[in-house]
Amino acid sequence: MSSSSSSSSSMSFKNLSFFLFSLLLLTTSHSFPLNTTTTFPNPQETTPSGTGGGEWVRLHDSIGVSAMHMQLMYDNKVVIFDRTDFGLSNLSLPSGKCRYNDAVLKLDCSAHSLLYDVASNTFRPLMVLTNIWCSSGSVRPDGTLVQTGGYLAGDKKIRLFTPCSTTTDAAAEQCDWFELPQQLLVRRWYSSNHILPDGRLIVVGGRRQFNYEFFPKNSINGSLPELFNLPFLHNTTDRFEENNLYPFLHLLPDGNLFIFANRRSISFDYVNNRVVKEFPEIPGEKRNYPSTGSSVLLPLRGNSPAPEVMICGGAPAFGFYQAEKLSVYVAASKTCGRLKVTDPEPQWLMENMPMSRVMSDMILLPSGDVLIINGASNGTAGWEDAVGPVLNPVLYSPTQPDPSKRFTVLSPTTIPRMYHSAAILLPDGRILVGGSNPHVQYNFTAMPYPTELSLEAFLPPYMAKEYSNLRPSILTVEARDKVVSYGQGFAITFMVATYRLYQDFKVAVIAPPFATHSFGMNQRLIYLDIIGGAQKLSMFGYKVSVVAPVTQNIAPPGYYMLFVVHNGIPGECVWIQINN
Ligand SMILES: *[C@@H]1O[C@H](CO)[C@@H](O)[C@H](O)[C@H]1NC(C)=O
Ligand SMILES: *[C@@H]1O[C@H](CO)[C@@H](O)[C@H](O)[C@H]1NC(C)=O
Ligand SMILES: *[C@@H]1O[C@H](CO)[C@@H](O)[C@H](O)[C@H]1NC(C)=O
Ligand SMILES: *[C@@H]1O[C@H](CO)[C@@H](O)[C@H](O)[C@H]1NC(C)=O
Ligand SMILES: *[C@@H]1O[C@H](CO)[C@@H](O)[C@H](O)[C@H]1NC(C)=O
Ligand SMILES: *[C@@H]1O[C@H](CO)[C@@H](O)[C@H](O)[C@H]1NC(C)=O
């Protein structure tokens, strides 16, 4: 199977579409404004709050591995992995491959990682050599996943996963994890990563690590220190509970790094190791592991964005202590906070979710809404530390002016996704959901939260069949090899069956996150500036010109999913590369 196709069915549809489109091009072209004459219902408005919207599909009862970490690659395959040190998984390594280095089993011939192919809904085992438990990762500009840290033998490891060459089918089945000979400077367990404007990674924190480092190392002729202290992490550690692991990182358009830990946050100049600004404490609960909430940088608009951070969920102080020591599961946080980082005096704007949540993932949808999915209502992260799965995802519309209409409760799943679950956006707009294993070992009889090896897809309301007429289908991205440089104008052609276009017309680029422990590292959505109106090329064909992000601070170099979003309805993405 070619790794460049997004899906075999959509490829053939696209070829057919392109044929029809070419025929239609023979009709006269003319320009027309983006403004609407007729209004179609907004997808959220047709979904009364609390009565659902969205649909769940079971993709696999078992993929053999519990999906603790997930990363979508530009070839539409998802790297999934769990820890390695609990015993056998339910997926075998290819014959002849085994590992020897964990405590529970002397010889382990089962896989703890796999590669999931979105188009064919199939997967194959991958082999990790050392323990990658509770680690972090970023995709570097060339599309290679750089994964950092883990536990014991794996805690200083740096591992690469490069999408397979497409030259032969055999080669396409060969690619696997590769451990670099060089190591991290210190152990990294529960650290967070971010890709930087210059293409390096920054690795921040981890258990008992109040510092950060870079990959490749930040050493100019050996004259600079390579490990940098970050007292902010020391200052945000709670006794016994920590509550500042997996800190939330967001690269700001001014080039500084937003770091959030526990209830505090700073804008940080990582080059000069200097706190640029400290923000007010977020009201309410603790927000980081094990009081695990989640965070996104809300969609950036155009080339002069006003960055706004959003954080949802978490747990009160001593929630972890009570769960661990007393088996008392306190109610999780019900609040979300929004912070306009560049305001002269930024303040958290607090809102109530429809329900309490801990360990929920927050996902930026191409429509600009935020999906809050997975997690529990009581307790904290940690083994056996939570009860009350929250089965309903919630959609949050940041631009909805009426605060009482911002949250919509969507259709529930039937599968609890507790500690060690994950969720990510797929290239076709669906959400991939997997994992959940709140136990030390795989335990399929532990009730009510057995180890989950299943994989589901959640289809957000914008995927409903009633919107097919509005769904755009990208035909071409008019940039050589789909590579665009900073500030470059380029055109996109697409088809849409309903031949009127509406005000709500957007082109989004989304960086696919490394998702684990409810935080999507490097997740980023930028709406590109659109030049003029769309040009009608034919009965169903349109062309629109956009401008690529102007700086690496807005969009660090790398692969992005480009979505055309028409009246809130995205079609399937096309991958582009933003680079110099
Ligand atoms: C869209 O409509 C608004 C108000 O009706 C108008 O100000 C604007 O110029 C129109 N945009 C285009 C592209 O025609
Ligand atoms: C995993 O394998 C074990 C042992 O063969 C089996 O009992 C269990 O049902 C399997 N679990 C799943 C979810 O397939
Ligand atoms: C690093 O070493 C190279 C080669 O010796 C030299 O050209 C360069 O100026 C040095 N850079 C710094 C920052 O010292
Ligand atoms: C850490 O806490 C100490 C003592 O409260 C304070 O003096 C210092 O400024 C804090 N540093 C940071 C980076 O928050
Ligand atoms: C969650 O916490 C609330 C408030 O303490 C409590 O009323 C409720 O029973 C708890 N739920 C579970 C499932 O423990
Ligand atoms: C699995 O969970 C059950 C029920 O909680 C428990 O009795 C059993 O000991 C567990 N098995 C393992 C291997 O941990």
Give all strands (DSSP E) within 380-481, no chain letters: 386-389, 394-396, 407-409, 421-425, 431-435, 455-459, 473-478
| Ligand index nearest the alpha carbon of residue 37 | 1
- Nearest ligand 4 atom, CA 235: 1
pLDDT band, very low/low/confident/very high, at 320 (cuts 50, 70, 90) = very high
| Ligand index nearest the alpha carbon of residue 501 | 1
Q: How would you classify residue 344: left for phi > 0, otherwise alpha for psi between -120 and 50, otherwise beta?
A: alpha
Pocket of ligand 3, candidates 221, 223, 224, 271: which has the most ligand atoms within 8 Å of its Cβ, to mutate? 221
Assign residue 203 the CATH number of its domain.
Answer: 2.130.10.80
Query: Is the pLDDT confidence value at 167 over 90?
Result: no
Task: Quick: pLDDT tens for 368-419.
Answer: 999 999 999 999 999 999 999 999 999 999 999 999 999 999 999 999 999 9
Distance 502 CA to ligand 4 centre (A): 51
Query: Got the DSSP string for 312-323?
Result: E--B-TTHHHHH
Tally of domains in the chain:
2
Task: Quick: pLDDT tens for 238-296.
Answer: 999 999 999 999 999 999 999 999 999 999 999 999 999 999 999 999 999 999 999 99
Distance 88 CA to ligand 2 centre (A): 10
Distance 235 CA to ligand 4 centre (A): 6
Query: Is the pLDDT confidence value at 168 over 80?
Result: no
Distance 90 CA to ligand 2 centre (A): 6
What backbone torsions phi and psi does residue 85 show, to the nearest 5 degrees? -105, 25
pLDDT of residue 169: 59
* Domain end marker among 438, 463, 488: 463
One domain, residues 424 and 472: no
One domain, residues 517 and 436: no
Residue 20 belongs to some domain of the structure = no
| Ligand index nearest the alpha carbon of residue 322 | 5
Tokens 């990208």 belong to: 474
Alpha helices per DSSP H over 80-126: none
One domain, residues 459 and 489: no
Q: Quick one: average pLDDT of 135-145?
A: 97
Position with higher pLDDT, 304 vs 199: 199
Position with higher pLDDT, 488 vs 219: 488
pLDDT of residue 47: 37
Residue nearest to atom 8 of ligand 6 (CA): 446
| Ligand index nearest the alpha carbon of residue 378 | 5
Residue 327 belongs to some domain of the structure = yes
Among 64-78, 164-178, 265-279, which stretch is predicted with the lowest mean pLDDT? 164-178
* Domain end marker among 463, 482, 503: 463
Distance 231 CA to ligand 4 centre (A): 7
Tell me the C-alpha distance between 287 and 264, whole Å.
9
One domain, residues 112 and 233: yes
| Ligand index nearest the alpha carbon of residue 503 | 1
Three-class SS state of 10: helix
Alpha helices per DSSP H over 395-501: none
Query: Is the pLDDT confidence value at 3 over 50?
Result: no
pLDDT of residue 501: 56
Please indicate whether residue 222, judged by its CB atom, sits closer than 6 Å to ligand 3. no
Q: Which amino acid is at 390?
A: V
Longest CA–CA separation in the chain, Å: 74
Among 41-45, 69-73, 122-126, 274-278, which stretch is predicted with the lowest mean pLDDT? 41-45
Is-contact 299 398, C-beta < 8 A? yes
pLDDT band, very low/low/confident/very high, at 223 (cuts 50, 70, 90) = low
Tell me the C-alpha distance between 530 and 545, whole Å.
6
One domain, residues 471 and 437: no
Task: Quick: pLDDT tens for 181-216.
Answer: 999 999 999 999 999 999 999 999 999 999 999 999
For β-strands 69-72 and 77-81, DSSP reports them as antiparallel
pLDDT band, very low/low/confident/very high, at 224 (cuts 50, 70, 90) = low
- Nearest ligand 2 atom, CA 453: 13
Q: What is the pTM of this model?
A: 0.89
Give every CB contact of residue 382 below 8 A, 6+ residues apart in sequence. Answer: 290, 320, 323, 324, 419, 438
Please indicate whether residue 109, judged by its CB atom, sits closer than 6 Å to ligand 5. no
pLDDT of residue 103: 78
Q: Which residues sit with their C-beta closer than 6 Å to ligand 2?
A: 62, 90, 444, 453
Residue 10 belongs to some domain of the structure = no
Query: Is the pLDDT confidence value at 14 over 50?
Result: no
Residue 218 belongs to some domain of the structure = yes
Pocket of ligand 2, candidates 58, 65, 90: which has the most ligand atoms within 8 Å of its Cβ, to mutate? 90
What backbone torsions phi and psi does residue 419 show, to the nearest 5 degrees? -60, 140
Alpha helices per DSSP H over 113-259: 169-172, 231-235
Q: How many CB atoms lie within 10 A of CB 536?
A: 18
Select from 547, 430, 553, 416 the least CA-distant residue to 492.
547
One domain, residues 411 and 549: no
Residue 29 belongs to some domain of the structure = no
One domain, residues 176 and 308: yes
Sign of CA dihedral 510, 516, 522, 526: positive
One domain, residues 385 and 429: yes
Three-class SS state of 261: strand
- Nearest ligand 1 atom, CA 503: 1
Alpha helices per DSSP H over 117-172: 169-172
pLDDT band, very low/low/confident/very high, at 105 (cuts 50, 70, 90) = confident
Q: Which residues sit with their C-beta closer than 6 Å to ligand 4?
A: 231-232, 235, 275
Pocket of ligand 5, candidates 333, 358, 377: which has the most ligand atoms within 8 Å of its Cβ, to mutate? 377
Tell me the C-alpha distance between 508 and 301, whole Å.
9
One domain, residues 352 and 449: yes
Query: Is the pLDDT confidence value at 134 over 90?
Result: yes
**Is there a cis peptide before residue 448, judged by omega within 30 degrees of 0?**
yes
Select from 13, 20, 12, 153 the least CA-distant residue to 538.
20
pLDDT of residue 100: 86
Please indicate whether residue 441, judged by its CB atom, sits closer than 6 Å to ligand 6. yes
pLDDT of residue 38: 34
Q: How many CB atoms lie within 10 A of CB 355?
A: 19
Please indicate whether residue 530, judged by its CB atom, sits closer than 6 Å to ligand 1. no
pLDDT band, very low/low/confident/very high, at 6 (cuts 50, 70, 90) = very low
Tell me the C-alpha distance between 569 and 32, whole Å.
20
Residue nearest to atom 12 of ligand 1 (CA): 33
Task: Quick: pLDDT tens for 35-63.
Answer: 333 333 333 333 334 456 999 999 999 99
Sign of CA dihedral 301, 305, 306, 312: positive
- Nearest ligand 1 atom, CA 533: 13
Please indicate whether residue 220, judged by its CB atom, sits closer than 6 Å to ligand 3. yes
Query: Is the pLDDT confidence value at 225 over 90?
Result: no
Select from 297, 280, 210 the least CA-distant residue to 245.
210
**Is there a cis peptide before residue 216, judged by omega within 30 degrees of 0?**
yes
Residue 497 belongs to some domain of the structure = yes
pLDDT of residue 102: 74
Please indicate whether residue 378, judged by its CB atom, sits closer than 6 Å to ligand 5. yes
One domain, residues 452 and 555: no
Distance 282 CA to ligand 4 centre (A): 17
Most confident segment among 17-26, 257-266, 504-513: 257-266
- Nearest ligand 2 atom, CA 64: 14
Q: Residues of the chain with pLDDT > 70: what percent?
A: 87
Distance 330 CA to ligand 5 centre (A): 6
Q: Which amino acid is at 24?
A: L
Tell me the C-alpha distance between 330 and 334, whole Å.
12
Residue 14 belongs to some domain of the structure = no
* Domain end marker among 447, 463, 479: 463
Arithmetic mean of pLDDT over the chain: 90
Q: In what order do the strands lie in the sheet with 431-435?
A: 55-60, 455-459, 431-435, 421-425
Tell me the C-alpha distance between 491 and 479, whole Å.
8
Among 100-114, 348-362, 490-504, 533-547, which stretch is predicted with the lowest mean pLDDT? 490-504
Assign residue 569 the CATH number of its domain.
Answer: 2.60.40.10
Domain hosting residue 108, numbered range: 43-463
Distance 369 CA to ligand 5 centre (A): 29
One domain, residues 446 and 470: no
Q: Quick one: average pLDDT of 333-346?
A: 97
Tokens 């002729």 belong to: 221
pLDDT of residue 302: 85
One domain, residues 235 and 246: yes
Residue 469 belongs to some domain of the structure = yes
